[in-house]
Amino acid sequence: MAELYNICLDIGGTKILGAVFNSKKEIVYRLKKKTKAGGDTSTNVEEVIISVVKELIDLAGIKIDQIHSIAAGAPGVINQETGVVLFSPNLPWKNYNIRKPIEDVFKAPFYIGNDVNVGVLGEYRYGAAKGYSNVVGLFVGTGMGGGLILDGKLYTGNQFKAAEYGHMILDPEGPLCNCGQRGCLEAFSSKQGMSSYIRQQISRGRETMMADSVSEGVFKSKSLKTALAEGDEVAMEAVDRACHYLAVASGNLVNTFSPDVVVYGGGVIEAVGDIFLEKILAEVDRYCMPSIRETVDFKKAALGDDSILYGALSMIKK
C-alpha cells in the first residue's frame, strides 16, 4: 500500500507557506509562495490555496490519492468544527465555508483554524511547550496574536473568539489601536506599535537607522535586528517599550491562568527573541503574584516559521 501524506498550510495575506508531511510526521517537501491572496473575492483566495496544494503534490512526486488530509492556519475568527471563516482581517472571507471547495477538489478532509491558535498548538505538540498541560502563547508580528492551551486542549472560547491578548487594554489613554480602542498591547508591542513609536520620534527630529524601514508602514524584522546590533537608540527604546508592556500583559495572564509556560513566538521573536525574552524576564516578576510566578516557565517558540505547519498537522484526526 502506498504511503499516505498530509499537506499543511500557513495562509497569510501576502504569502502561503506549505509543507508535505510523511507518515513519520517529517517534512519531505516545503514551498513558500508570495501571493496577492487578498484579492477581491473569496474564490480568488481558494484558487491560490488549491494551486499551492497541487504544486506541492506535483513537486513532492506524490499522487493525489496519497493525500490523507489537508490542514491550515489562517488569520481571523474561524469555526474549526465547520471550516467556516467567520471573519478574516487580511483576507476577503466572511461567513465563508472554505472547507467545501478544498475537499471537493482533493477528496480529502480539510481542517482549518486561527493561525496563532494553530501556532500555539504546534509549539504545544512539537515545540517549546511540549510536555506542558497549560500554555499561554503570545505571537509578536505585524499585530499581536494569542493562543491558550488549558488542561491539554486548545481553548477557543465562545464562537472561537478567545485569546485576543493583543487587545488587552493596558493604558486607556494610550496610543490608538487598529481595533478602535486605545492602549491595547498590540498598540505598544507589535511591529505596528513599534513602527508608530519610531515614526513619532522621527517627527521630533531624532535620527534612526529605522527611518526608511518605517516610512511606508511596518518595518521588516531583519531591519530591527540590524538596528539593535548597531546600538540604534530609537530602535532600542521601541523595543524597551514593547517589552515593558509584554511583561505587564504576561503578568496579568500568569495571574489569570497560572499556566505551566508562557511561549513567545512570531516574526519579531524569531528575529530578536533573545533580546525580548531577556527584557521581559527582567520585569515580569513585578506583575505576577510570587506564589504563581514560581511555577511558570517563560520560553521562546522553538519551531519558527514551522509552528503553524506543525499546529495544522496537530489538528488532523487520525
Give me the phi and psi of 279, to 5 degrees please.
-70, -40
The predicted pLDDT at position 45 comes to 78
Q: What is the pLDDT of residues 36-85, one digit of tens each?
A: 644 456 667 788 899 999 999 999 999 999 999 999 999 999 999 999 99
The predicted pLDDT at position 1 comes to 73
C-beta atoms surrounding 231 within 10 Å: 9
Q: What is the pLDDT of residues 12-30, one digit of tens each?
A: 877 899 999 999 999 999 9
In this structure, the strands spanning 153-154 and 297-300 are unpaired
Burial 300-317 (b: 16+ CB within 10 A, else e): bbbbeebbbbbbbbbbbe
The predicted pLDDT at position 66 comes to 96
DSSP letters along 24-75, please? Answer: TS-EEEEEEEE-----SSHHHHHHHHHHHHHHHHHHTT--GGGEEEEEEEES
**Run of H or E including 256:** helix 233-257
- Give ∠ CA 125-129-131 in degrees, rounded to 5: 70
Which top CATH class is 132-301?
alpha beta
Instruction: Please say whether the beta carbons of 172 and 180 come within 8 A.
Output: no
Torsion angle defined by CA atoms of residues 269, 272, 275 and 280, in that order, rounded to the nearest 10 degrees = -20
In sequence order, what are the residues at sequence separation of 6 or more whose Cβ sits closer than 8 angstroms to the Cβ of residue 74?
11, 12, 85, 88, 91, 98, 112, 113, 114, 115
**Low-confidence residues of the chain, pLDDT below 70?**
35-43
- In which residue ranges of the chain is CATH 3.30.420.40 found? 5-119+307-315, 132-301
Instruction: Please say whether the beta carbons of 86 and 159 come within 8 A.
Output: yes
- Residues 277 and 298: their CA atoms lie apart, in Å, by 8
Question: What is the torsional sign of CA 217, 223, 224, 230?
Answer: negative
Burial 195-218 (b: 16+ CB within 10 A, else e): bbbbbebbeeeeebbbeebbeeeb
- Residues 34 and 23: their CA atoms lie apart, in Å, by 28
CATH superfamily of 5-119+307-315: ATPase, nucleotide binding domain (3.30.420.40)
The predicted pLDDT at position 48 comes to 86
The predicted pLDDT at position 37 comes to 47
The predicted pLDDT at position 120 comes to 97
**What would the grid cell of residue 13 be?**
495575506
Crossing angle for the helix pair 233-257 and 191-203, to the nearest 10 degrees: 140
